[in-house]
Amino acid sequence: MISVLLSLRSSRFLNGMPASALIFAPHPDDESLGCGGTIALMARSGVDVHVAFVTDGRASHPHHSVVTPSEIAARRISEARSALGILGIDWDRASILGALDGGLAQLSSGPRQELVSTIAGLAARLRPEAVMLPCGADGSSEHDAAYVLVCQALGESGLRPRILEFPVWSWWNPLLLVRAAFAYRKIWRVDLGDARDIKARAIASYISQTLPVPPDLTSALPQGFASMFLGDKEFLLER
């Protein structure tokens, strides 16, 4: 039902695709879940795409009895490399910004400003026509904090790219998307076509998130979460 509501307000995105895009993923997998099909279509169309991972995702298994946070981080970065390759993005078009996973919303002033400056510097170097990132109210404290940090960094950089927001955790909380359907100036619809299968393969790369890490019996992502992103459309929201 939410997808139908968003579709009714949407316009076809590929008619207005940017020449370059910088995508911010708070954690490795957000890019594939939220806009993996769009990334694949942009790469195919020759858009200059760069993906920045704000954290390395080490906090996804905080109480694991065997695997350490550093080992989780290494797995997730390796999975990200595989996922981007499937989506058509070379690994030299990726940046790992190194922020503390699980603590984006609680950064003290020094580390916060350091991260903002890093983001601003990356944006100033790449000068993207569009910046893509999870929605400002996405139902995740990490995603919401990443949105604020990126917007602050763009303000400091002096750049004024288009900001295109993609839902991730807000699919898990439909009320957020109902609000978004009426709050944004523009909703863009991306009809994925065969990019749907490419996106599914990219998501499947993140086995540390979608499958249990032994001896755990449950996965890091809730049951049924990843399957929400296997439809034939993606949506990008523009204020």
- Calculate mean pLDDT across residues 24-29: 98
Predicted TM-score (pTM) above 0.85: yes
Per-residue pLDDT, 2: 87
CATH of the domain at 182: 3.40.50.10320
* Tokens standing for residue 167: 């839902």
Structural domain harbouring 43:
2-238
Number of domains in the chain: 1
At 110-155, the pLDDT tens digits run: 999 999 999 999 999 999 999 999 999 999 999 999 999 999 999 9
At 174-192, the pLDDT tens digits run: 899 999 989 999 999 999 9
Per-residue pLDDT, 175: 93
Per-residue pLDDT, 103: 93
Mean residue pLDDT of the chain comes to 96
* Residue from 38, 35, 77, 75 nearest 54 by CA: 77
% helix / strand / coil in the chain, to the nearest 5? 50, 20, 30
**In this predicted model, which residue has the larger pLDDT, 55 or 100?**
55
Percentage of the chain with pLDDT > 90? 95
Structural contact between residues 32 and 202, judged by C-beta atoms closer than 8 angstroms: yes
Per-residue pLDDT, 203: 98
Per-residue pLDDT, 14: 75
At 190-199, the pLDDT tens digits run: 999 999 999 9
Work out the pLDDT band at 39, boundaries 50, 70, 90. Answer: very high
- Calculate mean pLDDT across residues 20-30: 98
* Residue from 91, 89, 96, 95 nearest 40 by CA: 89
Q: Is the pLDDT of residue 215 over 90?
A: yes
Q: Is the pLDDT of residue 59 over 90?
A: yes
* Residue from 187, 189, 190 nearest 239 by CA: 187
